[in-house]
């Protein structure tokens, strides 16, 4: 089932839906790490689970103290394989993250064909982190420079238009999500410019938007209003994360370029032993408020720790 159908289904239901984003384990770790997480999420009946993708130059690591760091020296493998396992073993729709950076259009086409072969109909089109080196591209290869280019390529495949002429080309049938930044992407010159980039992605055929994590719901509501004002009509799914450590108070703003509310930070720094409980309570309050405002789909960035989110979601089941 496509994500856009899950979203529309939730809008006509009284019950909210909670989706999740997980990160492939570092090279050398077992797939069991992911299976354990998914088994924890199964009782919550997730409509879909996102699986991130990382080229060899960048990935995110959550350390034992909870802090999040960007690493550039080891590849996290297995996005396609993980999606296939979740989709076919657990019967949960998966969303594979597809990146511009670090991949050619030819590699992207191959990945999309393989995903579709595995029964996966959902992808999230992202520009990705800027590389810390220039990947050599051979003369017979091409690249997508922006997420809007990637969306356009996916929509071409949905029409059966491949890079090379092939005999009896069959169209794919992929649902395409893109990211949105309620507080502006850090590379954009200003908020208006960033919104115009987002509008371009939607005009290229994206089906829905999922936001970067935020901790102030008013920022999200203002973002949605700004999107509607410039003509973006597609669904916008809010993204939340539970802050669980002092380390994350530093690493989240630095890594994800989002602001932490003064009220939350003050309470956490005054009660360092109770940070996880405070973060859980804050995310629960955000989720309740979003649902009360009519947003029936909420997306949680869990990295690879679902423990705190499980207790939140159970309150809505």
For 42-75, the pLDDT digits (tens) are: 999 999 999 998 765 555 667 777 777 665 544 5
Report the percentage of the chain scoring pLDDT > 90.
Answer: 76
User: What residue numbers bound the domain in which 19 lies?
Assistant: 3-314
pLDDT band at 141 (very low <50, low <70, confident <90, very high): confident
Find the CATH number of the domain harbouring 240: 3.20.20.220
Helices 79-89 and 32-41 meet at what angle, rounded to 10?
A: 40
Could you give the CA distance from residue 97 to residue 301 in angstroms, rounded to a whole number?
A: 14
Q: How many domains does the chain have?
A: 1
pLDDT band at 283 (very low <50, low <70, confident <90, very high): very high
Please provide the average confidence, as pLDDT, over all residues in the chain.
90
Q: How confident is the model at residue 285 (pLDDT cuts 50, 70, 90)?
A: very high
């Amino acid at each position: 089932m496509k994500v856009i159908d899950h979203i529309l289904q939730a809008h006509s239901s009284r019950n909210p839906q909670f989706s999740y984003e997980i990160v492939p384990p570092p090279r050398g770790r077992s797939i069991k790490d992911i299976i354990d997480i998914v088994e924890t999420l199964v009782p919550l009946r997730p409509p879909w689970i996102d699986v991130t993708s990382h080229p060899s130059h960048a990935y995110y690591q959550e350390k034992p103290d909870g802090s999040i760091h960007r690493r550039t020296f080891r590849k996290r493998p297995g996005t396609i394989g993980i999606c296939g396992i979740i989709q076919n073993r657990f019967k949960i729709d998966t969303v594979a993250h597809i990146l511009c950076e670090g991949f050619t259009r030819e590699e992207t086409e191959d990945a999309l064909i393989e995903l579709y072969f595995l029964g996966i109909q959902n992808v999230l089109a992202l520009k990705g982190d800027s590389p810390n080196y220039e990947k050599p591209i051979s003369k017979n290869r091409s690249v997508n420079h922006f997420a809007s280019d990637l969306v356009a390529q996916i929509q071409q495949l949905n029409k059966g238009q491949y890079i090379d002429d092939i005999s009896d080309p069959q169209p794919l049938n992929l649902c395409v999500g893109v990211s949105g930044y309620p507080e502006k992407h850090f590379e954009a010159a200003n908020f208006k410019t960033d919104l115009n980039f987002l509008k371009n992605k939607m005009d290229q055929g994206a089906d829905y938007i999922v936001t970067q994590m935020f901790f102030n719901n008013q920022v999200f509501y203002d973002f949605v209003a700004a999107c509607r004002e410039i003509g973006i009509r597609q669904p916008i799914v809010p993204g939340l994360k539970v802050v669980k450590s002092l380390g994350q108070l530093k690493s989240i703003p630095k890594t994800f370029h989002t602001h932490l509310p003064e009220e939350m930070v003050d309470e956490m720094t005054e009660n360092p032993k109770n940070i996880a409980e405070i973060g859980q309570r804050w995310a629960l309050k955000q989720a309740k408020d979003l649902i009360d405002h009519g947003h029936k789909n909420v997306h949680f960035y869990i990295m690879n720790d679902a423990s705190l989110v499980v207790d939140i979601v159970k309150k809505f089941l």
